A and B are shown apart, each in its own frame.
Chain A
Amino acid sequence: MTATLPENGRPEPGARPLVEIRGLDVGYARRREVTPAVIGLDLRIDPGEIVAVVGESGSGKTTTANAVIGLLPAGGRITAGSAVIDGVETAGATERALRPLRGRVVGLVPQDPMVGLNPTRRVGAQIGEAVKLRGVRGPAVGAEVLELLGQAGVPEPELRARQYPHELSGGLRQRVLIAIALAGRPKLIIADEPTSALDVTVEKRILDHLTGLVREQGISLLLITHDLAVAADRADRVVVMRDGRIVEQGDPRVILGSPREDYTRQLIAAAPGLAHGGRVVPRFDVRDQPAPEPILTLTGVSKTFGAGDARRGQRGFNALDGVTLSVPRGRTHALVGESGCGKTTTLRIALGLEAPTSGSVVLDGTEIAGLSWGGLRPLRRKAQIVHQNPFAALDPKFTIKQSIIEPLVAMRVGDRRGRHLRAKELLDQVALPASYLDRLPTELSGGQRQRVAIARALAPSPDLLMLDEPVSALDVSVQEQILRLLTDLQTELGLSYLFVSHDLAVVAEISHTVSVMSRGRVVEEGPVAEVFTNPRSPHTRELIDAIPGQRTAAWAGNGKETLLTANGS
């Protein structure tokens, strides 16, 4: 099945490459016009090698992966070049020729585990299907399914195999998808942004597990990611792509240590974990400064969801248990923790969208816990929210201007002309041209949409912005731009932020103070500079360990090679 490998799991030099792509052009045909997505790509993957392809959205990295497995979306086709996989030419190959490759030679771990599994079939059956394709029959199938689930790190495989995908968490679903990819005993696994939809801690566990598995079984891995830090931590070779072309490739140490291209340098600078040599370096140190008056204070806030409440199932009965935190005026307070720790519930209570079971919420000197909807309305001008997913947060039928002025219309602020001027001013503040006023959200990129969402939140001139994972859905390089915009707006307008995130590297870039949450409680709090450099809670430590870029940090720490300009360390 797998080629006999030397002891260290690495192939002997000169072995036949598993994947050999030469001069590959891939384009998408639309209305008789072919838009190139990949241009003149050369890529080689040896048996047992881990190759990471890094690039922003639209760089052609996913198209490359799809071309390798012959699963280009409708309209996509290979227009030139060759892609030989395990001795089979896939460029121009028929479905019949490609099918034996899929599953048996190349396994795929898709991008979003939430939608990667058939919702109407049991998990076990979906894995079993792939096992049966190898000709396994009878009770052996079930046994192998359980073994695969075990290998993929799924606890209680007997129980899980009988469940449907919606009964599993995102992390577990991704592990099931890994089990499916393993089921065909492939020589290569393509992992297409396998964890970008997951928490950092889950991301780290799953990627560590996956790389461990492929090393153990001598499988090659093609890891597609937008995060250079994730790639650098795991790959034998990093390939940086931009606009369908390879910008540069090589050993991650060389790429990170002495990047030849400007673009690679930008990517390094954008990855918060890499920018400081893989260490968390808080941007703001407020340890010795007196805290300003708080604009928002939560004291002993608890929330209990009643039996039968749909939200109860997410995590236990007590969603929040005595949460106390405060956001100092003009500063950023971060709320961090894994999914389901109560961050979003806290945010909803702070906004007055949800009533706490007990405790007090004071916004700008007014107690809002227990206020009626009507009583809350005047206070809505003071606090606004920016959501996680900019693709879902804007009404697709509204123009940008309509979206931005909507809060003003709802609150009856200003007249037609005043609102138009305000919209222009707001767009200017978020660094978008005024010509965008009449555009629709679909014409904008993710980062631009998030800028619009920020502009909309700023429209009623609030003092406090609640930022619910505002950059988690964005590419690393775009993340950095949005974070810089938020910091600039804070200085310019004197805003206060409550910043919810699971990514400590991002938090370090923007926050002054932080509360770490776990299972509905605040387990640690204080200035970021204190908490991140000297964590007391194991939960905080785990979150810090999950920040990508650690392997790089280890290299830098060993001092064997000077990887980065040592300004951060």
Chain B
Amino acid sequence: MTRYIVGRVLQAIVVLWAAFTVTFMILYLLPADPVKLQLGAAGIDEDSLTAEQVAALKHEFGLDKSIWGQYWDRLTGALTGDFGQSLTQHAPVMELIDQRIGHTLLLSATAAVLSLVVGALLAYLATFVRFNLLRVFLSRLPSLGASFPQFFIALLLIQYFSFELGLFPATGTAGFKSVVLPAVTISLLTSSLLAQVLIKSFEETLRQPYVVTARAKGLSRSAVHLRHAFRNAALPAVTLLGVLVGLTVTQSIVVETVFTREGIGRLAQQAVLSQDVPVVLGIVTVAAALFVLVNLVVDLLYPLLDPRISHGRAGRVRTPDASVEVTSI
């Protein structure tokens, strides 16, 4: 088990490093001149400076080094949590991220919990209800939810809940109330995706012979559904969980813009538009770290949910297939 965890953590580190490197290379290839950008942000025209002054500036930011020299600086900096100065905002990248990440994490977490609850509940009902019309309606609902554009939903929500009812603020980052509408907007997509997978999985599970065994015992439908079908149906969806949580982070970019929230998403959008390379690199690395962490947690959760999987001594994942050929009693 320990060996498995160590292996997975090492894997996670490699993934992080790869994400950092690829992002760095892409950003390096962009035809942007960092010095010009910075001067522009400070309101100075590049032409008013002498060649020596420009060279001095380049030297100050390490831009006169080769690509590998710059890469090395960035990488060692990132390892100590230092992503350098923002080119357009006069603050260290880490500070910018630090100020905003709380807002984004709260939004992501709320959206994730919301999609989990709504998605699971919808799938549960859609497979449990026996009235055919309602059943069909419920099971089609997720495809509808997934196909609505988010900005449209966001605008509808703002129009109704903020302007007409005045229940939640339309914009801003203040208080938990401000999280509700953005979280609902995000979870509409993610809960739909989860519900779609869960419904399929439920239908598959309910066809399994052990469900017949459970019903033949005389258990009620709800007992069979909850105690026998639910956990087994949830297994394929657990893998999706890591992706979904990652999706709530990327979705927040769109949603934070619509709701003008001070979050990582908006920071990323601004940074990309102004070609603020250090900020983009910082955000990508932090997001990748989050993503890797969530997936690691999901993988460690798996054996708790499915007793057939054990992260055994040799780190070998034992699947049920390995024991298909059994010895007789």
Contact = CB atoms under 8 A, between A and B. Distances in A.
A310 B329 contact: no
A118 B217 contact: no
A107 B215 CA distance: 10
B175 interface: no
Contact of B327 (A102, A177, A339): A339
A100 interface: yes
A107 B318 CA distance: 33
Contacts of B327: 169, 314-315, 338-340
B213 A180 contact: yes
Contact of B228 (A100, A110, A118, A340): A118
A346 B306 CA distance: 33
A119 B307 CA distance: 8
Nearest to A340: B327
Given A171-B329, A314-B325, A340-B328, A116 B217 contact: no
Contacts of A374: none
A259 interface: no
A344 B324 CA distance: 13
B218 A133 contact: yes
Interface in A78-117: 95, 99-104, 106-108, 110-112, 114-117
Contacts of A101: 218
A120 B326 contact: no
Contact of B307 (A120, A155, A175, A315): A120
Nearest to B313: A308
Interface string B292-329: 00000000000001111000011010101011111111
A320 B300 CA distance: 37
Contacts of A169: 326-329
B218 A100 contact: yes
Given A119-B232, A308-B316, A107 B323 contact: no
Interface stretch (A14-22, A195-203, A293-301): A195-203
B305 A120 contact: yes
B213 A110 contact: yes
A121 interface: yes
Given A119-B306, A308-B313, A308-B314, A339 B216 contact: no
A310 B322 contact: yes
Q: How large is the interface on B (under 10, 10 to 19, 20 to 34, 35 or more residues)?
A: 35 or more
B99 interface: no
B74 to A, nearest CB: 41
A282 interface: no
A549 interface: no
B232 A133 contact: no
B234 to A, nearest CB: 9
B13 interface: no
A509 interface: no
Main secondary structure of the interface of A (DSSP, over half): loop
A183 interface: yes
Contact of B213 (A117, A166, A198, A201): A117
Nearest to A102: B218
B328 A201 contact: yes
B216 A108 contact: yes
B237 to A, nearest CB: 14
A119 B329 contact: no
Given A166-B320, A169-B326, A118 B305 contact: no
Interface in A122-145: 129-130, 133
B113 interface: no
A198 B328 contact: yes
Given A115-B210, A170-B326, A99 B307 contact: no
A198 B212 CA distance: 20
Nearest to B305: A120
A198 B326 CA distance: 10
Interface stretch (B86-94, B219-227, B255-263): B219-227
Interface in A163-181: 164, 166, 168-172, 175, 177, 180-181
Given A118-B214, A120-B308, A313-B323, 12 more contacts: A69-B216, A99-B220, A100-B218, A102-B216, A119-B320, A120-B307, A129-B227, A133-B218, A184-B218, A201-B328, A339-B325, A339-B328
14 contacts: A103-B218, A116-B209, A116-B212, A119-B306, A120-B231, A120-B235, A120-B306, A121-B227, A180-B217, A183-B217, A310-B316, A338-B327, A339-B326, A339-B327
Interface of B: 208-210, 212-221, 227-228, 231-232, 235, 305-308, 313-314, 316, 318, 320, 322-329
